[in-house]
Every structure is written in C-alpha cells, then in structure tokens.
Amino acid sequence: MISVDAMEWFALIEHVILTVFMISLVSVFVSEGWPGIARITLIFLKTLPGFQHTVDMFVKREVNDFVKQLREEGGKSKKELEKTPPRVTLPEKGISADILREEMTKINKNKIKTDAGKIFALVYTMDDDNFKLQKDAYDMFTQKSGVSVKHDALVKEFHHAFMHENALNPMMFPSLRRFETEIVSMCADMLNGDEKVVGSLTSGGTESILMAVKTYRDRARKLYPDIVHPEMVAPITIHPAFEKAAHYFNLTIVHVPIDDDFRVNVDKYKQAVTKNTVALLASATQYCHGVVDPIEEIAAIATETGIPFHVDACFGGFMLPWVEKLGYPVPKFDFRLDGVTSMSADLHKYGYTSKGSSVVLYRNAEIRKYQIFAYGGWPGGLFGSPSMAGTRPGGNIAASWVALRHLGKDGYLKMAKSLMKITKKLTDGIKKIPGLKILGDPSMTCFAIAASDPSLDLLAVADVMETKGWKMERQQFPTSIHCTILPQHLSIADQLLADFADATKKVLNGEVKSLPSASSMYGMLAKIPDKAIVNDVIVEFFSEIYKQ
C-alpha cells in the first residue's frame, strides 16, 4: 500500500512534468505557431501505446495519395494505378540490341530536356564539345566485358544517353526510377526473393555493404536502445568493406575462425552471438578462396535468435544462380532461406555492366526503411536519400538495366557454362603441377593456389609469373595466389597452366628466389606480428602514391 507521503511526491512530480510540458507548448507556439503545436502533438502521440500504428497508417496514406497524384499527372489512369505491377524478371532470352535501342528512343522522347533551360538543379552540363570528349574518354578507358563487342557497344550507348541525368530526384527523371526499380526486381527474382523483396542500386559492393550495416545499426537503435555497443558476427574471410562499415558507423565485428575447408566454424559462430549482436554476416562466395560459407546453418541461427542476417553475394551473386542451374553443387545461399534478411550483389562483376553498379536487397520494405536518410529541417527544401550517395549518375543505372535485359537468363547461363568449364580445366591442371594445390572446394569461377610442398616459396612463384606478364593476386593466412576467372581467360588457359608449371619448377629447383618486387614487401608485412604496424605502412603507402 502506497503511503500518503509517497502519493504527495507522485503528485508533485506529475505537476512539475505538466508545467514543463505546458511551458514547452507555449514556447513552440510563440516560435512556430499552430504547425509547431501539431508537430509536438504528433511526437507525443507516437510515444503512446497503440498510437504508433495509427501515425504510421496516416503517414503511409498521405504518401500513397501524393505518389498516386504524381502518377496520374504522368498519364496513368486510376484503373491502371489500382493494379499491382507484376514482378519484373530477367527475360528468358536476351532482348536484341535493335529492340532495346528502339525502347531507348521512346524513353528519350518523353524525358526532360535538360538543355531547354527549364530546370534549376541536378544537371550542370551542356551538350557541347566537352560533353562529346567525355564520351570519347569513357569509351577509351572502359574495359571490355568479354561478353561480346555488341554487348559492350549497347551498354556504352545507354550509358552515354543518360550520362548526365541525376537519380538524386526520382521524380525529375522517371526513366531512371523505372530502370532502378526494374533492376532491383530482376535481381530479387534471380536470388529467389518474393514480391516483397525491395532494394536499392548503389555505386558498388562497398556502398551496398555500408548500407546494409547502417540499416541494421539504425534498426537496433530503434528496437533495442539498450544495446550501447552493437556487434556483428562474421567469418574471418568476410570482405574488408564490412570492416570499413563498422569503422564508419561505430560497430564492432566479432571474427570467427574458419576450418580446414575454409568455411566458418558454425559452433564457434553461434558462440560468438551475444545480447549485443545486431547482425549476422556471411559470404556467397567469400572472395579469398571461392568457397560459400555455411549459409543455411547461419540462417537457422538467425531464425532462432531473430537477428538479421546479411549474405554478401557481391562476388557470387551473378554467378552462383547460373552455376546451380547448370547442375554444379551449390549450397543454398539466398532468399529461399527464411533467416536471410538481406543480400548484396555486384552487377559490375559477373553482371557484365559498366563499373559502379551493385544492388542491396532486403526481404521487405520495413527493413529497408532503416537505410533511408531523411532531413526535413533544411531551408533548401525537404531532403531524402535512399543510399550513401546524393548525386547518382544516371549512366550507370541505364547501362545496368540494358545489360541485364540484353543478356537475359540464356546469356548468363551461357557465360557461366563457358567460365565454369575453363575453371575446371585450370583447377585440374594446377593440381597436376608438382608443388601446387587448390585450397578448399570452390563453388564457382575463382580459386586460390597454395604450395603443397613446404619447401616451395609461393611468393617467388608469383614473382616469376609477373616476369611472364601475369599480374598476381597475393593472399595471406595461408599464403596463396588468388585467381578469378574472367571471359578474357578463355583463350589463354593453356598458357597460364604452362607458365605456372615452368615458374614452380624453377623455384623448386632453386633457379629463382624471391625477386625485389611486390612479393618481397608483401611477404615481409605478412610476417609482422603487430598488424597495427602493417596498417601504418598501408596508410603511408596510399598517402605517398597519391601525392602530386
């Protein structure tokens, strides 16, 4: 039973709170008027049990009415607007270049003419000789995809046509909005997502990863405010972009070791999950060795704990689906697993589009909302941004859209088939070279080469390969050479095997020792126990190499 003194204290506290609230209301009214009172009232209502849902419904209705009005002004009838648009999927067969060019012509007829002088933001270029020179420079320095000359030409055409359009404002450039939503839809379908899966186009895998980490940090802040030091659990092989994201957004990654098969140890992974864990991470495939992490087992942990799970398929997202369809053994890694809540996949890798294109996908719109940044207090207007970048170049968006539609499912299957064939030829050939072996059991078109003979200096082998014109990707823990197989390798596989055999033989016979090249520095740094010193060397290297 509460005493009289306690009741008096409660009454006093209640009086003080009410007084402060009334003073705040008067202050807001003086400075902002009735709109300020409405704002404060809405904030207050959101704190009451049951009212948050009502507020959310109000906001959703207002936004839907606004967007509907915009679409009606764009020429769509009410009957068309009431229909739920079907999921856009990759075409079964790639669409011909001529048909896609006709479609681009129609799109260009309806888009805003930026050179007409009737817009006041977003585009700061003119269609002059300088613009033409930029197109020429893009053509000159853009690497060939290896698919076909026709494919590369089509991607460049679409890039040029939308090169200076800006996806910062999706209402100003509706064609870019269409391209992006259809790209996301096609990628979601490819990765076995249902119609609720949503996402964003980004500038690359790093931005996709940054957005996923930011999303789960902000989600935890709202749903679990008692988590002061948020953590993510990940295999030691997770891409360094997650380290960058953790550094930027003030999270900690708890690293879990891998087993002899180069897949993360699931038992240790589960033990690393704590009350501070806000996201689980894994790769399909991890870049180092081309191995798919035990996604299904980690998805089960995610389902059991209710913790979001991001699968980084930046490297394998546009290869594994086709490799699986070709009959190769590929473990489940995508939205077929209930525990998977988000994925990232790079279009500018095995999607065969121009550099600067990736997607981040979420199982539903409710998760994606935590990715979006909004600021309504700027005198320059209401500001919102779905991804890290503000200005987003339309050329990359258009190029990605046409690359997907031009290749189609049959085109991607064809590319995967030829690259897997050459990958198997190379891995089988490497295994036959005395002193060399393949690490783990790669699931797609990449692998890591290591020394099977303890006396073999693999970095010296890399040095000899460099003298033969090859550019070697050196790795550590353990020392290995990474190979990603690209369309350009189809014609030189035999030469690659011959050169590896010759280089390995020379090193084993003592004819060659480590040369004064990148291997010497790499090998020295890899042996330093204090990695802080290594980090200092890396920072100093980039500071020096970009000095004017």
DSSP symbols for 110-165: HS--GGGS---SS----SSHHHHHHHHHHHHHPPP-SS-HHHHHHHHHHHHHTTT-
- Does residue 130 or residue 195 have the better pLDDT? 195
Q: What is the mean pLDDT of residues 200-212?
A: 96
Residue 360, CB-side half-sphere exposure with 13 Å CA sphere: 28
pLDDT in tens, 347-380: 999 999 988 999 999 999 999 999 998 887 778 8
Helices (H), 235-287: 240-249, 266-272
**Which CATH code is given to the segment(s) 97-409?**
3.40.640.10
Residue 287, SS3 per DSSP: coil
Mean pLDDT value of segment 223-242: 97
pLDDT band at 73 (very low <50, low <70, confident <90, very high): very low
Give the closest residue to 257 by CA, choosing from 279, 234, 230.
234
14: confidence class by pLDDT, cuts 50, 70, 90: low
Tally of helices (H runs) and strands (E runs) in the chain: 19, 13
pLDDT attached to residue 467: 92
DSSP string, 311-367: EE-TTTTTTHHHHHHTT------STTSTT--EEEEETTTTT---SS-EEEEESSHHH
Indicate the DSSP class of residue 264. Answer: B
Residues 6+ apart with CB under 8 A from 201: 167, 180, 183, 184, 357, 358, 359, 387, 392, 397, 400
Q: Give the pairing of strands 480-484 and 446-451.
A: antiparallel
Same fold, 97-409 and 422-545: no
Q: Is 252 helix (H, G, I), strand (E, B) or coil?
A: strand
Average pLDDT over residues 485-505: 94
pTM confidence score: 0.83
In the predicted model, what is the mean pLDDT of residues 187-193? 97
Q: In this predicted model, which residue has the larger pLDDT, 157 or 43? A: 157
Q: Which helix (H) or strand (E) holds 415?
A: helix 394-431
Name the token pair of 71: 């679409």
Question: What is the reported pLDDT for 69?
Answer: 54
| pLDDT class of 174 with cuts at 50, 70, 90 | confident
| Residue 256: pLDDT band with limits 50, 70, 90 | very high
Give the integer Cα–Cα distance in Å for 63 and 53. Answer: 15
* Residue 58 pLDDT: 54
For residue 23, what pLDDT is reported? 72
Going by their DSSP bridges, the two strands 277-283 and 309-312 should be labelled as parallel
> Pick from 307, 295, 300: which is nearest to 235 by CA?
295
Q: In 3-state terms, what secondary structure has residue 432?
A: coil
**Per-residue pLDDT at 334 exceeds 50:** yes
Please give the DSSP secondary-structure letter assigned to residue 488.
G
Which token pair is 1?
A: 């039973």
The larger pLDDT score, comparing residue 25 to residue 87, is at 87
Domain ranges, ordered by start, for the chain: 97-409, 422-545
CATH label, 422-545, candidates 3.40.50.300, 3.90.1150.10, 3.40.710.10, 1.10.645.10: 3.90.1150.10
Higher pLDDT, 196 or 30: 196
Contact 211, 309 (CB under 8 A): no
**Angle at the Cα of 485 (from 483 to 490), degrees rounded to 5?**
130
What pLDDT is attached to residue 61? 59
pLDDT at residue 201, as a whole number: 94
Helix H or strand E segment including 200: strand 198-202
76-101: average pLDDT: 78
DSSP of 354-412, one letter per residue?
Answer: -SS-EEEEESSHHHHTTT-EEE---TT--EEESSS-SS-BHHHHHHHHHHHHHHHHHHH
Whether the pLDDT of residue 84 is over 70: the answer is no
- Give the CA angle between residues 543, 544, 548 to the nearest 5°: 100
Q: Looking at residue 390, what is its pLDDT?
A: 78
* Average pLDDT over all residues of the chain: 84
Residue type, 479: T
The per-residue DSSP string of 47-67 comes to: HSTTHHHHHHHHHHHHHHHHH
